[in-house]
Amino acid sequence: MPPIACRPAFAGSALAGIAMLCGVAGALPVGPAFAGSTEAGDAAVPGPLRAFKIDNPPTTTTIPAAQPTPQAADKKGKAGKKIAATASTVEKDPLKRRFRGVFRAAIPDGGSGTVTVQPTSTARELKLEDFQVSEVPDLEILLVAGDRIAKPDDVLTSKRVSLGRLKKIVGRQIYRMPAEVDPSTYRSVVIWSKRRKIVVASARLEPTT
């Protein structure tokens, strides 16, 4: 009876295990199961798959968000209190409020520029900037209690305060306002010709603080 040929189950098996599988006593030649090439007609037979266990799986580290330091929180709190105090002061003291307006011509080439009202240590001052106006005789600057001042009747039928003669028809200039005159009431700045009784230009004051 010819000897029984047998393939090894997998590389690294003991000779006794191979002999048991083949049923033949004695030592048999054993070749590698997963060699790059096999005997003619033989194909490599892989061994059984085994689960791969990770003894120490990687862990995810969570970095906590940075917390503000007590000094930073204290500075932020002080800044908030300062802003609130400033707003409260402005609200309680009307003299601290600021206003701004843009001139609109009431006649052809009547005028242009900006006007600002800001507080001083004792009262308020009214400032004209980038200002120019038509050369009309006998010009004065008025504060009028109204919103849209374009016609003579808008001035003549409203409460008004004169800040005096217009100093010049071109350029920056400053006028002192009486402390009792509230720009939220006298909210239009009017360039007025006393001789002709016409509105040359006007600006509506709007609060900025």
C-alpha 155/C-alpha 146 separation (Å) is 8
Give the pLDDT of residue 75: 61
How high is the pLDDT of residue 12? 46
Contact 161, 206 (CB under 8 A): no
Mean of the per-residue pLDDT values of the chain:
75
Half-sphere exposure of residue 25: CA atoms within 13 angstroms, side-chain side: 0
What is the predicted pLDDT for the residue at 96? 79
Q: Hey, is 19 helix, strand or coil? A: helix
CA dist 196 to 10, 114, 167, 204, Å?
Answer: 119, 24, 18, 22
- CA 159/CA 162 separation, integer angstroms: 10
- Look at the alpha carbons of 154, 155, 157, 158 in this order and tell me if their dihedral is positive or negative: positive
Spell out the domains of the chain, with CATH numbers in brackets. 1-33 (no CATH), 94-207 (2.60.40.200)
Contacts of 26 by beta carbon, 8 Å cutoff, 6+ apart: 19
Does the pLDDT value for residue 193 go beyond 50? yes
Q: Determine whether 198 is exposed, middle or buried from the number of CB atoms within 10 Å of its CB (0-12, 13-18, 19+).
A: middle
- pLDDT tens column, 6-51: 444 444 444 444 444 444 444 444 444 444 444 444 444 555 555 5
Determine the pLDDT at residue 92: 52
In tens, the pLDDT along 45-98 reads: 555 555 545 555 556 566 666 666 666 656 666 666 655 554 444 455 566 789
